[in-house]
């Protein structure tokens, strides 16, 4: 790796029941490779609130922490990937984010969400209007460099293939547990590789010199 290669700051979005503390192993890993990392605690984190309101918190954090001229990258784990998508697709995030990574996110919904009547949980059910709305123009994510990283062994995203989408890059890792996706060496390596992918500009892909991991 070339240590002089520019790195965008990266904002990490946690999943349901989690806080930003879940990213500590990933933060250490990325910091050691030269990235500036940020995370925030989305509230409520238990599914009580609409995912739109959590995405608004992302927008407010980005406006507060990053200058309008500062591009940044976005990573969402599980529910955080859906929250990140709403920020990108509905709240102007596509104009600010250059790379978007989802880790085991239920883009097509998860059957596990039928176990709760909390609003945010219900929005992650298969065919829920919230997801259908985001998926009807999912092609807009082609404006950023988008990578979906997922594991076929996931018992929280059912079916696990719900993490696959028809845009961007699809990266399959054999991580045994859903929660391990934020700390397992396979997924950490996949995240680092995604973060040095060429960014998209108005004239196409812009390569990064010395960007191999």
Domain ranges of the chain: 10-206
- Is the sign of the CA dihedral 66, 102, 177, 133 positive or negative? positive
Question: Quick one: pLDDT at residue 200?
Answer: 75
pLDDT in tens, the chain (213 residues): 444 457 999 999 999 999 999 999 999 999 999 999 999 999 999 999 999 999 999 999 999 999 999 999 999 999 999 999 999 999 999 999 999 999 999 999 999 999 999 999 999 999 999 999 999 999 999 999 999 999 999 999 999 999 999 999 999 999 999 999 999 999 999 999 999 999 876 544 454 433 334
Rounded to the nearest 10 degrees, the angle between the axes of helix 185-195 and helix 24-32 is 50
Please enumerate in sequence order all residues whose Cβ is within 8 A of that of 30, keeping only pairs 6 or more positions apart, or say none: 10, 37, 191, 192, 195
CATH class belonging to 10-206? alpha beta
Helix/strand/coil for 148 = strand
């Amino acid at each position: 790796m070339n240590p002089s290669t520019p790195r965008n700051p990266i904002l990490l979005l946690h999943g349901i029941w989690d806080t930003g503390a879940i990213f500590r192993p990933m933060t250490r890993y990325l910091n050691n490779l030269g990235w500036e990392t940020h995370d925030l605690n989305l509230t409520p984190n238990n599914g009580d609130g609409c995912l739109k309101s959590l995405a608004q918190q992302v927008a407010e954090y980005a406006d507060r922490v990053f200058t309008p001229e500062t591009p940044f990258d976005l990573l969402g784990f599980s529910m955080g990937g859906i929250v990140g998508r709403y920020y990108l697709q509905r709240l102007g995030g596509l104009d600010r984010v250059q790379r978007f990574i989802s880790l085991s996110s239920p883009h097509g919904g998860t059957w596990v969400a039928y176990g709760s009547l909390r609003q945010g949980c219900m929005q992650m059910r298969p065919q829920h209007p919230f997801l259908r709305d985001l998926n009807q123009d999912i092609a807009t994510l082609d404006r950023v460099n988008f990578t979906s990283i997922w594991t076929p062994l996931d018992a929280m995203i059912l079916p696990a293939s719900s993490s696959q989408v028809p845009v961007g890059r699809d990266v399959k890792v054999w991580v045994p547990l859903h929660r391990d996706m934020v700390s397992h060496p396979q997924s950490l390596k996949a995240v680092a590789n995604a973060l040095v992918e060429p960014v998209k500009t108005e004239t196409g892909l812009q390569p990064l010199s010395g960007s191999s991991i």
